[in-house]
């Protein structure tokens, strides 16, 4: 054992094993003890210190990591060792969506010709995000592609509410949690070009030592046109179905139905748009974490192929002032859903320290509400409303 190692052991030994008297150093040239005897005694002290440390580690309760401590630990892990296939799932998912945010923003900037504004922000209790927003571009009136990372603590009432869908969630007074999501909403100028929404997320609760206690994925993507082109809806749904079918043939019909039911303005009796897929609470009862993560990756990567071809066809189409007016009315319906029914918006606004600007990024730059507005019979506007009231099977 080297001198340095012995010194480290002495520093580590518990307080109750250290000498109560102050250490005295002798500067007498003719010391009685030989060097060898000093090292034997030093090794003995080190051995006692090590055994005390082992005893302490074995019998003391593990230290509780609060949300902020876990956030700091994750940041140190990313900085010092990086993220690989053996890293915690939360870090793997975070790395993936950061990569996808860059890829999506890059392609949207190529389409629009203008750059996104990028805001990086942090939360006091751990986490933060990157908000990429484009307003008054050439193609998009408003577009946002945001990442949000939240470390926090669930109260007992919140735990009780979530246990309705997650029986594996610990029944405790409080639980530290981690929530991560990539959210995107694109509102084009042209009423012939559809609005699109995307969100993929991961949620995890932690044990006191910071290890995962319960986890689940959620997400989806859906299309909201003001003017319906059947070939656009078919293409969008077909691309999503192909991504789903790689993993489970039951996913697309199940998640398409879920999307139609979730994105519904119940007070209007109509869907928000022509749908896509939506799922929540994808946990170990459905598939293991690695397979669920692979599914999320394929779905998110399918976005650009599902939407860009539609935009290339529609962004430069001619339109009238009346058609623009109809788009504004439909955007009003979009706002109604997000503020009245959307669980993600409600959750975000109720988390202490949330960044409200990022949460409400989904709202369009302009919208309108006209009293008792009804489309003309047998018009294109009326056909859209009929489809929204009776969702179709597109593939």
Calculate the alpha carbon distances from 99 to 39, 105, 295 in Å.
Answer: 55, 10, 16
Q: Which tokens is 320 given? A: 């009238």
Q: What is the mean pLDDT of residues 29-47?
A: 42
Among the listed ranges 70-74, 84-88, 128-132, 261-265, which one has the minimum average pLDDT value? 70-74
Q: Which tokens is 163 given? A: 């246990």
Q: What is the mean pLDDT of residues 97-123?
A: 97
Nearest to 105 by CA among 121, 118, 120, 122: 118
Helix axis angle for 303-314 and 89-112, nearest 10°, is 10
| Local confidence band at 158 (pLDDT 50, 70, 90 cut-offs) | confident
| Local confidence band at 66 (pLDDT 50, 70, 90 cut-offs) | low
pTM score, two decimals? Answer: 0.80
Q: Which is higher by pLDDT, 24 or 325?
A: 325
Average pLDDT, the chain: 84
DSSP code of 209? T
pLDDT at 23: 39
User: Whole-angstrom Cα distance, residue 223 to residue 308?
Assistant: 12
pLDDT tens for each residue of 336-350: 999 998 887 887 787
Could you give the angle at the alpha carbon of 143 between the alpha carbons of 142 and 146, nearest 5°?
140
pLDDT at 117 over 50: yes
pLDDT at 313 over 80: yes
pLDDT at 324 over 90: yes
Q: What is the mean pLDDT of residues 7-14?
A: 40
pLDDT at 58 over 50: no
> What is the percentage of the chain residues whose pLDDT exceeds 70?
83
Calculate the alpha carbon distances from 109 to 28, 98, 132, 142, 359 in Å.
Answer: 77, 17, 11, 12, 22
Among the listed ranges 12-26, 92-106, 137-151, 156-170, which one has the minimum average pLDDT value? 12-26
| Local confidence band at 64 (pLDDT 50, 70, 90 cut-offs) | low
H or E element in which residue 281 lies: strand 275-282
| Sign of the torsion formed by the C-alpha atoms of 77, 81, 86 and 92 | positive
pLDDT at 53 over 70: no
pLDDT at 15 over 60: no
Q: What is the mean pLDDT of residues 60-88?
A: 79
SS3 content of the chain, % helix, strand, coil (to 5): 45, 20, 35
Q: Write out the catalytic residue numbers.
A: 197
Among the listed ranges 97-101, 150-154, 225-229, 309-313, which one has the minimum average pLDDT value? 150-154
pLDDT tens for each residue of 159-186: 888 777 777 788 877 888 999 999 999 9
Nearest to 298 by CA among 221, 392, 212: 221
User: Whole-angstrom Cα distance, residue 94 to residue 90?
Assistant: 6
Calculate the alpha carbon distances from 226 to 172, 257, 271, 383, 388 in Å.
Answer: 47, 21, 12, 11, 11
pLDDT at 360: 87
DSSP code of 351? S
| Local confidence band at 4 (pLDDT 50, 70, 90 cut-offs) | very low
Among the listed ranges 41-55, 79-93, 202-216, which one has the minimum average pLDDT value? 41-55
DSSP code of 227? S
pLDDT at 35 over 80: no
Q: What is the mean pLDDT of residues 52-57?
A: 36
């Amino acid at each position: 054992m080297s001198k340095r190692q012995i010194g480290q052991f002495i520093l580590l030994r518990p307080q109750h094993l250290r000498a109560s008297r102050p250490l005295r150093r002798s500067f007498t040239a003719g010391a009685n003890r030989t060097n060898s005897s000093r090292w034997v005694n030093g090794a003995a002290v080190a051995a006692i210190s090590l055994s005390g440390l082992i005893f302490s580690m074995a019998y003391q309760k593990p230290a509780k990591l609060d949300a902020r401590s876990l956030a700091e630990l994750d940041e140190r892990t990313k900085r010092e060792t990086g993220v690989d296939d053996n890293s915690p799932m939360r870090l793997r998912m975070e790395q993936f969506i950061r990569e996808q945010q860059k890829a999506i923003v890059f392609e949207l900037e190529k389409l629009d010709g203008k750059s996104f504004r990028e805001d990086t922000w942090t939360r006091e209790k751990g986490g933060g995000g990157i908000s990429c927003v484009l307003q008054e571009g050439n193609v998009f009136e408003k577009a946002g592609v945001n990442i949000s990372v939240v470390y926090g603590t669930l109260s007992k009432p919140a735990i009780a509410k979530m246990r309705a869908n997650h029986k594996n969630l610990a029944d405790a007074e409080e639980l530290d949690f981690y929530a991560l999501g990539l959210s995107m909403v694109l509102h084009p100028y042209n009423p012939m070009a559809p609005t699109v929404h995307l969100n993929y997320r991961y949620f995890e609760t932690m044990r006191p030592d910071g290890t995962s206690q319960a986890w689940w994925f959620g997400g989806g993507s859906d299309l909201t046109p003001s003017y319906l082109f059947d070939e656009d809806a078919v293409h969008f749904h077909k691309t999503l179905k192909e991504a789903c079918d790689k993993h489970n043939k039951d996913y697309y019909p199940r998640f398409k139905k879920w999307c139609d039911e979730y994105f519904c303005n119940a007070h209007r009796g109509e869907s928000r748009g022509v749908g896509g897929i939506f799922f929540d609470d994808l946990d170990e009862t459905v598939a293991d974490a690695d397979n669920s993560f692979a599914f999320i990756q394929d779905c998110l990567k399918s976005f650009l192929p599902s939407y860009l071809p539609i935009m290339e066809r529609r962004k430069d189409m001619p339109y009238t002032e009346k058609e623009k007016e109809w788009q504004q009315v439909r955007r009003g319906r979009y706002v109604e859903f997000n503020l009245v029914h959307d669980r993600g918006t409600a959750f975000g606004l109720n988390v202490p320290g949330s960044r409200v600007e990022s949460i409400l990024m989904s709202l369009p730059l302009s919208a309108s509400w006209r009293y008792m507005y009804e489309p003309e019979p047998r018009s294109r506007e009326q056909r859209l409303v009929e489809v929204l009231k009776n969702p179709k099977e597109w593939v």
